[in-house]
Structures are given as C-alpha cells and as structure tokens.
Amino acid sequence: MNRESDYLRGLVPESEEFIRNMEEYAEENRIPIMEKESMHFLKQLLHIKKCATVLEIGTAIGYSAIEMAHAHPEIHIVSIERDRQRYEEAMNNKMNSDVSERLTFHYGDALEMEEELGEFGPFDVLFIDAAKGQYRRFFELYAPLLTDDGIIISDNVLFKGLVANPDTEDKRMVKIADKIRTFNEWLTQLEDYDTSILPIGDGVALTTKRM
C-alpha cells in the first residue's frame, strides 16, 4: 500500500464494532473483502443516488452487502456466493447484523442463476466482486437487468498494482492480473457504456449506460 492509500484510509471513519470484527476476521483468515476506502466511496455513491436495489456478485462473508445496506434505509441488497463455507459465514453475519431484513443471500454459481436472480430486478446497481476471470461474463449476464440509469461497479480492477505493473514472480497473480487487464480494455471500449477507473483501494471501475 502506498503513502496516498495509507493517507486516504486514515481519513475513513472508524468502523462500528460489528463491522470492525468482520474486517479483522477477514484479515486474519485471508478472506478478500473490499478495501475500506473503496467501501466508503461505494456507500457514498449509493447514498447520493438513493439506490433501491443492488445485485452483488460475490458475497464472501457478507461484509460489503451489510455495509451497502447501511448506505440508506430503503436499499435492498441481493447477493450470491458459490463457496459454501463463505455463504454460511455470510448468513451468520447477516442474522447478527442490524440490516438482515434488507439482505437476500443466495448460494450458487452466478453464471448459472441468471433467471433466479433476475426475479429480484430490475437493479439500480450491479456490483461485481467475484472470480476475476469471469468479470466479463458477469457483466454480460447481469447488466441487462439494470434500470436505464443503472450503474455497474467492478472492484479490484487494478489488482494490487499488478494490472499496470506485473512486477512479480508469482505466475498465478500475473495470470489473474492479465485477465483483469483484458477485462478493463474490453470494458472501456464498449460502445454503449462509459467507464471511469478510479485508483481507490484496489481499483474501482464505474460504468454507466450511454443515454
């Protein structure tokens, strides 16, 4: 993490105890969750737009879904997770949260559950934060379920700095970075969408339909 990231993270308000415990658990167990400064930005965006429904691809332990539900009191989060253990942890965190009635978690593969998830649409926001090599497929499957002024948010699009500078001997990390780089190039060249990539946290892509 560079100095700028350290500085920005230091300005983010301290999480309340329940959220802080989730952050600490994720760090201790090496569970990838959204960076704090990225999460803060996303909540601000949802609050400003007053989004009613969000579809999240990649629940993990429920951290980002619970935090998004705190953006404003009318928002509802629909999320899907394919890892059974993570899903069960997310369900436990959901039940212990103060926003459980506004969270709907599904267990399964998002690439196979378009019809089931589509029943909850249309969505104001599609948040993609799952298997990096499948970002394009997630986008193609679920972007059509958005409202006309919907937003697609893709996390980790700079992937630890390796997308711009693949300076590592870890072949697995380089392979993931290559896939994300390909996705970014595809995303920014779409004729019907506009995309801005923001160097917040691990990189956030913000995509909207052209009107």
Binding site members for S-adenosyl-L-methionine? 34, 64, 81, 109-110, 129
| Secondary structure (DSSP) of 145-204 | GEEEEEEEEEE-SSGGGTTT----S-HHHHHHHHHHHHHHHHHHT-TTEEEEEE-STT-E
Binding site members for Mg(2+)? 129, 155-156
Contact by Cβ (8 Å): 64, 75: no
| Tokens encoding 87 | 């899903």
Binding site members? 34, 64, 81, 109-110, 129, 155-156
Measured CA to CA, the distance from residue 31 to residue 21 in angstroms comes to 13
